[in-house]
Structure 1
Amino acid sequence: MSPNAPRPLRKVQSVLFMCAQNAVRSPMAEAMAKHFFGKAIYVQSAGARKGEIDGFALTVLDEIGIDAHKHKPKSIEELEEWEGLNFDLIVSLSPEAHHKALDLTRTVAADVEYWPTVDPTAVQGSREHMLDAYREVRDGLMKRIKERLKS
């Protein structure tokens, strides 16, 4: 293999999705990955900080038959304290989370991938316009999750 060739992606057995507050993007990603891959891949999510779960995120997941209503937002520090950070892959979905994920690689042997994902909470307008922004995030994450985590 030439030195400039991209290295092959290893099979992921455990993945951590991170965003700013573990309130929208990372809980959506966690719920979808668990839905599509069941127990084949260990999945968690956390935030650089801890927020409150977003109702629109739950609504757009409900639309596709995925229930995330029991999700409790947690910070990366809480996750580390509760169960450690033994992940093959950390997927960061926001700039703040990406910086935090890169910091973690000083002590955690995980690959880090940055999937820049728009924060749908910034969208203003009618309820339907706002839901469309969340659907766009959901659908984009779903596509990437299915492609990246398949065997």
Structure 2
Amino acid sequence: MAQSDQAAPPLFVQLAAHEVRWRLLSELARGDLRVRELVALVGEPQNLVSYHLRLLRSGGLVSARRSSFDGRDSYYHLDLDRCADTLTAAGAALHPALRLLPAEPARTAGTPATETPSVLFMCTGNSARSPIAEALLRHRAGGRAEVTSAGSHPKAGLHPHAVRVLRQRYDIDVAGQRPRHLDTLTGRRFDYVISLCDKVREVCPDFGDHPQRLHWSIPDPAAASGDDTAHDGYPAFDRTAAEIDTRVRHLQPILFPAPHRKDRP
């Protein structure tokens, strides 16, 4: 038998081919979830879901992070960049003609959209994670989305490291922005409500018109740094901003679907 006939299927094919794992990947592609939520969504026993999650974690597609609301619980997160890399490798392994091409760039600012999505980002203090997400999406969307952020217990001002990382890494100035309370948004309509804090997810108020609820389980960089103002706490904010920027990048194709392209004649 030829060596090519003996080759094992690529990693992504091995992991995603199983029905339960594919359903888990599909649910986690929307946002971070706990085991009991995945059990309810896929309709399988918890021991089976946990088993397949372990396989996905071993393959590097899924990671787990302890909940800041309940340390006995964990949120599972799908690494979409890793999925893209392994899926691209799977196509190329079968035939060079199946190598995936980079996605088309999103429409540039000023290009009219059929609808303008409205997005709310939430965290507890509205001083770091949610204003970083707000600023990055507004920057990358170029005016094509209505974006705001708020907190359940807003701080007096934005964290200086959050202001600094947006200015230095992304050339975005939010120095004049002030945290706002979720109560000030009562009656507002949102298409997407995205929580970046495990604690605020548990107290999110109801918004009209049933917005899409997504969760990004991201630790508070101020808590991770151990000191709210120390200079050596800045790297935690830099890492947090990079993670949020990756998630914002993956959010854009959901907010702004690419127009259908006809096949070439």
Bin the TM-score by the shorter chain: 0.7 to 0.9
TM-score by length of 2: 0.49
TM-score by length of 1: 0.83
Query: Cα distance, 1:55 vs. partner?
Result: 0.6
The residue that corresponds to 1:62 in the other structure is: 167
Long gaps (5+) in structure 2: 1-21, 31-114, 257-265
TM-superposition CA deviations, 1:29-61 (whole Å, max 9, x none): 101111110221110000011212111100000
Distance 1:147 1:40 in 2: 16
Tell me which amino acid in the other structure corresponds to 2:163.
Answer: L
1:120 aligns with 2:221: yes
Tell me which amino acid in the other structure corresponds to 2:216.
Answer: W
Q: 2:196 aligns with which of 66, 72, 93?
A: 93
Query: Cα distance, 1:139 vs. partner?
Result: 0.4
Q: How many residues align?
A: 142
Q: 1:13 aligns with which of 117, 133, 137?
A: 117
Name segments (4+ residues, structure 1) moved above 3 Å: 4-9
- Judge conservation of contact 2:158–2:178 (CA < 8 Å) in 1: yes
- Judge conservation of contact 1:12–1:149 (CA < 8 Å) in 2: no
Q: 2:185 aligns with which of 52, 55, 79?
A: 79
The residue that corresponds to 1:38 in the other structure is: 142
- Judge conservation of contact 1:29–1:141 (CA < 8 Å) in 2: yes
Query: Cα distance, 1:92 vs. partner?
Result: 0.2
TM-superposition CA deviations, 1:44-91 (whole Å, max 9, x none): 0000112121111000001120111121110100122xxx32111111
Tell me which amino acid in the other structure corresponds to 1:61.
Answer: L
Long gaps (5+) in structure 1: none
Distance 1:149 1:18 in 2: 18
1:27 aligns with 2:128: no
The residue that corresponds to 1:136 in the other structure is: 239
Identity %: 26
1:96-111 pair list within 5 angstroms: 96-101=199-204, 103-104=205-206, 107-111=208-212
- Judge conservation of contact 2:116–2:144 (CA < 8 Å) in 1: no
For the pair shown, the structure with the greater C-alpha radius of gyration is: 2
